[in-house]
Amino acid sequence: MRIVVKVGTSTLAHASGRINIRRVERLCRVLSDLLNYGHEIILVSSGAIGMGVGKLSLNGKPSDMSTKQAAAAVGQCELMYVYDKEFSEYNHTIAQILITNSVVNDKTAHDNFKNTVSKLLEFGVMPVINENDTISTEEIEIGDNDTLGAIVATSTDAELLIILSDIDGLYDKDPRTNTDAKLIKEVYDITDDIMIMGKGKGTNLGTGGMHTKLKAAKIATEKGIDMVIANGSDPGILYDIAEGKSVGTRFYGKK
Ligand code: GLU
């Protein structure tokens, strides 16, 4: 199965922005095992800005553009260094691809992106994709990695998009403020009622929240791709999802 796995900053880093070593080690181990099984995996990883914040010892996510972009430049290095080290341990090769919205708007860029990804997969290499935050301006910005994950999934004809987050899935109400909130396990149609459930913000260092995840689900399911939102606090959950078990919230692709 060709799977796009998107991991958010809240999964990869502590609130300080410093890398969550235990989590990242486990994530890379599980992904390596899924690669060994024979799945093709494309990793869409956030964490550049968060880790830059940690490495530069900044006080939280910067609000001005140039500091944010400088943090992304520092953090992206750290991110790839860690991934490369971890995946090398399991004998897997990874590749970095940083994209902007031109991948969506410019046919040549889109074709080049698709061809590069498919060549990498042919070589058995796992692409690690992030937005090119350092050069992104408003006009070419995708803005959040949930949308980026959906763009990558549709561009690469993936069968499944998995979004690992700090929440178990989509709830009928915000579970952080409502103790009686219920997890919705399956969504066949992303109606306005469903979109309303996605109101509310994400964590401090990341960008998205449930709203961007639902937007991503719309993009993916329109193209027939299933999407699962699950809690990345134990990356072992990826085994269950790959085996088709019911975890988190599954959005069914339109067939
Ligand atoms: N591209 C951003 C980063 O690597 C993440 C965007 C997001 O959190 O959705 O920091």
Ligand 1 site, CB within 6 A: 8-9, 46-50, 72, 130-131, 133, 144-145, 206-208
CA of 46 to the centre of ligand 1 (A): 4
Distance CA 33, CA 27 (A): 10
Distance CA 249, CA 137 (A): 33
Q: CA nearest 44: which of 206, 164, 159, 140?
A: 164
Give the ligand 1 atom nearest the CA of 76: 4
Predicted model pTM:
0.95
> Where are the domains positioned within the chain?
2-251
CA of 180 to the centre of ligand 1 (A): 31
Question: Which helix H or strand E contains 55, and what residues bound it?
Answer: helix 48-55
212: left (phi over 0), alpha (psi -120 to 50) or beta: alpha
Cα torsion angle, 179, 7, 44, 140, sign: positive
On whether the 2-251 domain is CATH 3.40.1160.10, my answer is yes
DSSP 38: T
Q: Beta strands 186-187 and 226-231: pairing type? A: unpaired
Residue of 12, 77, 130 to test ligand 1 pocket, by largest number of atoms within 8 Å of CB: 130
Residues 24-83 pLDDT 10s: 999 999 999 999 999 999 999 999 999 999 999 999 889 999 999 999 999 999 999 999
Provide the β-strand partners of residue 234: none
Q: Which residues of the chain have pLDDT under 70?
A: 200-208
Cα torsion angle, 128, 53, 148, 168, sign: positive
Distance CA 100, CA 102 (A): 5
Other residues' Cβ atoms within 10 Å of the Cβ of residue 13: 27
Other residues' Cβ atoms within 10 Å of the Cβ of residue 29: 16
Distance CA 91, CA 69 (A): 32
Q: Whose CA is nearest to atom 2 of ligand 1?
A: 46
Residue 86 has phi, psi (to 5 degrees) of -65, -50
Distance CA 56, CA 62 (A): 11
